[in-house]
């Protein structure tokens, strides 16, 4: 095997003898260096060490792509400590810290280390896997350095940006670049519903949860992911906008352990060129509503399937993720102004921000006896639909919440929507309870997973 070693080229510049080090005397001279900015902002960016205990299977099929899923649950499990390393940002002098969920989520022990080497134990106030955000709290006898949040809606492409974090665990590192894109959505985080700022400032493993700051030292985003083929930075990194971070901090201070998300109750898709032609638009823009729940606040405001949402609170929306983001940065119970196209006319209406209603009754049941013992199911309503991230089109029926016991080996998964058991239609949790009492050796369970129908047959 041939090895190719990188060649380092050193360039030497000869300075005049008279050249002297000069203290910057104006803002223009200071802006030539990031040093004053970094000196002020860096103490608010921390290293985070998290430990979590996971159950590792001792099955001989673990890691085998062909048999691991088939023999899922086979063999004993043993606890194993899993470590993670990342970054965080202090947002207040009383110790509110933001980081990524994938850094601290489900952790049993979290240590926050400041640049002055002080260490603090941290507790999670609020964590959300979908947004990949976690709000932590550390306690200090003295006020802590912190960064101010900037209105991320004012951020423009081309602005200078610095990424500060702890890549590869080598210590705090600063990289520079610009904001290279806005309103990026569907990238690799959570359930791919994210909405990000894009930067070419180098972000590497360990930078997760670190700060993306502007030229004034304000936090414009929390670094979260990159697009890469090699595992290293290719100049395409993503940060969660500060406006969403501010909403999470607000709810964490209010005592929420989970993020309260406004419910839209609609399903939509981005308007592409072919759809734009069909709707008579000169350019592709907006999100067309393809389906809508009867209880949706958009329906209450007068919108219908086929309408195109163009903007929310004056900000254009061109993907469902942008709509979700615009709703997420406004408090539940308030209103948003929605501009939409209906029957060729542009209209504006106020839409209320509500939580997903928990009606009709979900009637959660855990089957205690019979063949289906250990299966927990619930009737689908908007709240259940929202919690499990079910498509808006799946508005009724019975969904699997948990699987314990022998039935776990059959292949059912959380989020599966049951349609029939042994040929009998399933409409409510009561139907599942009754079906479990059947005296039969041959069983068949039909349902829908991710829009695809499935059927499991087994014998007892």
Catalytic residue among 84, 99, 131, 132: 132
The span from the CA of 18 to the CA of 15, in Å, is 8
Residue 208 bears catalytic tag: yes
Cα–Cα distances in Å, from 101 out to 29, 33, 107, 225, 386? 40, 33, 10, 12, 19
β-bridge mates for residue 449, sequence order: 452
- Please, how many CA atoms are within 13 Å of residue 277, restricted to the half-sphere of its CB? 2
Strands, DSSP E only, in 188-305? 195-199, 211-213, 219-226, 237-241, 266-270, 287-292
Catalytic residue among 99, 208, 225, 233: 208
Cα–Cα distances in Å, from 231 out to 85, 205, 207, 227, 236? 16, 8, 13, 9, 12
Sign of the dihedral defined by the CA atoms of residues 321, 324, 328, 329, in that order: positive
- The pair phi, psi for residue 132, each rounded to 5°, is 60, 40
338 exposed, middle or buried (CB, 10 Å; 0-12, 13-18, 19+)? Answer: buried
Residue 293 bears catalytic tag: no
DSSP summary character for residue 280? T
Catalytic residue among 84, 87, 99, 102: 102
The span from the CA of 412 to the CA of 427, in Å, is 18
What the block records as the tokens of 411 is 């292949």
Neighbours of 346 (CB within 10 A): 11
- Please, how many CA atoms are within 13 Å of residue 250, restricted to the half-sphere of its CB? 14
3-class DSSP state of 453? strand
- Please, how many CA atoms are within 13 Å of residue 118, restricted to the half-sphere of its CB? 14
* 432: nearest Cα among 376, 358, 361: 376
* 225: nearest Cα among 247, 198, 246: 198
Active-site residue list: 102, 132, 208
């Amino acid at each position: 095997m041939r090895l190719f070693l990188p060649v380092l080229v050193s360039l030497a510049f000869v300075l005049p003898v008279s050249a002297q080090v000069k203290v910057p005397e104006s803002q223009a001279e200071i802006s030539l260096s990031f040093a004053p900015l970094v000196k002020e902002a860096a103490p608010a960016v921390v290293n985070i060490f998290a430990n979590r205990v996971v159950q590792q299977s001792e099955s001989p099929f673990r890691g085998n792509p062909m048999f691991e899923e088939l023999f899922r649950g086979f063999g004993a499990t043993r606890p194993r400590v899993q470590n993670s390393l990342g970054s965080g940002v202090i947002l207040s002098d009383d110790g509110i810290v933001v980081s990524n969920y994938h850094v601290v989520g489900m952790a049993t022990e979290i240590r926050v280390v400041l640049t002055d080497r002080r260490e603090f134990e941290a507790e999670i106030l609020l964590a959300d896997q979908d947004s990949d955000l976690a709000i932590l709290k550390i306690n200090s006898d003295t006020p802590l350095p912190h960064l101010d949040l900037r209105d991320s809606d004012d951020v423009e492409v081309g602005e200078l940006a610095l990424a500060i974090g702890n890549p590869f665990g080598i210590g705090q590192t600063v990289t520079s670049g610009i904001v290279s894109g806005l309103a990026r959505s569907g990238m690799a985080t959570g359930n791919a519903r994210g909405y990000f700022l894009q930067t070419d400032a180098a972000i590497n493993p360990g930078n997760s949860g670190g700060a993306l700051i502007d030229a004034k030292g304000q936090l414009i985003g929390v670094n979260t992911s990159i697009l890469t083929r090699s595992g290293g930075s290719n100049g395409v990194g993503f940060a969660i906008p500060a406006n969403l971070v501010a909403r999470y901090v607000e709810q964490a201070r209010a005592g929420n352990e989970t993020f309260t998300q406004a419910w839209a109750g609609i399903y939509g898709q981005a308007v592409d060129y072919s759809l734009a032609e069909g709707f008579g638009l000169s350019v592709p823009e907006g999100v067309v509503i393809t389906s809508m729940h009867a209880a949706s606040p958009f329906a209450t405001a007068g919108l219908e399937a086929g309408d195109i949402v163009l903007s929310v609170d004056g900000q254009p929306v061109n993907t469902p993720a942008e709509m979700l983001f615009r709703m997420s940065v406004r408090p539940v119970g308030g209103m948003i102004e929605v501009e939409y196209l209906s029957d060729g006319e542009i209209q504006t209406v106020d839409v209320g921000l509500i939580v997903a209603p928990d009606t009709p009754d979900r009637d959660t049941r855990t089957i205690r006896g019979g063949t289906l013992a250990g299966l927990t199911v619930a009737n689908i309503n908007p709240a259940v639909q929202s919690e499990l991230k079910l498509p808006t089109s799946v508005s009724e029926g019975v969904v699997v919440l948990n699987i314990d016991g022998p039935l776990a080996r059959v292949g059912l998964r959380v989020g599966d929507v049951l349609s029939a058991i042994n040929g009998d239609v399933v409409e409510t949790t009561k139907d599942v309870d009754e079906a479990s009492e059947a005296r039969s050796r041959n069983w068949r369970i039909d349902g829908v997973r991710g829009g695809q129908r499935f059927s499991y047959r087994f014998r007892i």
